Structure 1
């Protein structure tokens, strides 16, 4: 009888594909994750993609087209004039909702005791690395549902293109873009975690940090094991 002997695979050194989800590489010694999450899909759709305004725009166009016929008492004609515009508007709203959902599903925000890491992008995922030494300050905009936007103001000389960040950028700050954790749930708690981490970093001995790094996210390839 043939018996197969299974031997343990030799340990391979850690690499970028052994990293925790949302991070480009394993965390170095002394660094640990304080919080990790993703934005709300509806928050991105309504607040970044302006889904509500788009819907109201198409409703207004439909009413404008149907109003003369409706005032003349021609209800059927008014309906036929309004339906094409409402159909296009419905498609636009659904598309924006899908984009918001995809943006949320492909985004991971990470706060460690040393930096903020943002994995963003739908078609071309990128990883934005923001050491605390490069962060001049942070803000918090709370919404009624408990979510919050947390923009990060970078020190002068460190800049990320607005188009690379959008929709994860503070609105209307184009000349000096600010990366932003958008519509995170339990925003008050996340803001407190970020504030404590920044305060602890500033109280520690000053560390030097490199420039902001924007890396493409590469899909992991197959791992090879040596045959015995």
Structure 2
């Protein structure tokens, strides 16, 4: 899914500035809002909770020998309260999806997120230690990115675009994206290529000679 312009200041959809010469976009997409509602905002679990509370309330009212009218009014109020909460959560999930764009290039992962305050995270492949894929029903899933300890991003800045229960070392995540396995292969290929290029460059750098080491105060 290709993103469209969400903000006028964007040089390109999901990008705060044009890609540098030589950098190629490999994939761009947004979270599926229904999956985001289920797995990030836990709408299904909260709905089950409300149903259990509704059943407990019904059992209590029947045991207290309340009148039919009183039982109906109480249950309707509880049902409406739960329905409003679920609608609000689903709306937040939809808005979060609408304001999010994930981009993978051959050099980095770019995450433009934020429902109120827009933030853009540039994650170079060479600063990504590892990645993990979590599949959901169908072909959607999460791709969590493990960063090096020196590159810590606050969990509150990432949520809900973060791996669950990783608070001390938050992991940015591409949440609820379609064709997650295919996207994971694209990311793995770009990450591996960048690491290979980095090793080749490091190996091609000439080592200083003994005289140069002595001039610079390095141990010979």
- TM-score tier (shorter): 0.7 to 0.9
- Give CA deviations for 1:40-86 in whole Å, capped at 9, x if unaligned: 11111111111111112222222222213335595443222211111
Q: Aligned equivalents of 2:68 and 2:119: distance in 1? A: 52
1:32 aligned to 24, 27, 45, which one?
24
For structure 2, the 5+ residue unaligned runs are 1-7, 203-220
Instruction: Report whether the alignment pairs 1:61 with 2:53.
Output: yes
The superposition leaves residues 168-204 of structure 1 with CA deviations (integer Å, 9 ceiling, x where unpaired) of: 0000000000000000001111111011111111111
State which of 59, 74, 98 in structure 2 corresponds to 1:105: 98
Offset from partner CA, 1:77-116 (integer Å, 9 cap, x none)? 3222211111110000000000000000000000000000
**TM-align CA RMSD:** 1.9
Q: Distance in 2 between matches of 1:18 and 1:100?
A: 23
TM-score by length of 1: 0.80
Q: Whole-Å Cα distance in 2 between the matches of residues 101 and 146 of structure 1?
A: 19
How many Å separate the matches in 1 of 2:127 and 2:138? 31
User: Paired residue for 1:160?
Assistant: 153
| Structure 1: unaligned runs, 5 residues or longer | 1-15, 209-228
Q: For residues 170 and 110 of structure 1, what CA distance do their matches in structure 2 show?
A: 18
Please show how residues 73-222 of structure 1 align to structure 2 within 5 Å. 74-206=67-199
Contact residue 103 and residue 122 of structure 1 kept, 8 A: yes
Distance 1:38 1:197 in 2: 19
**Structure with greater helix share of residues:** 2
Q: TM-score, normalised by structure 2?
A: 0.83
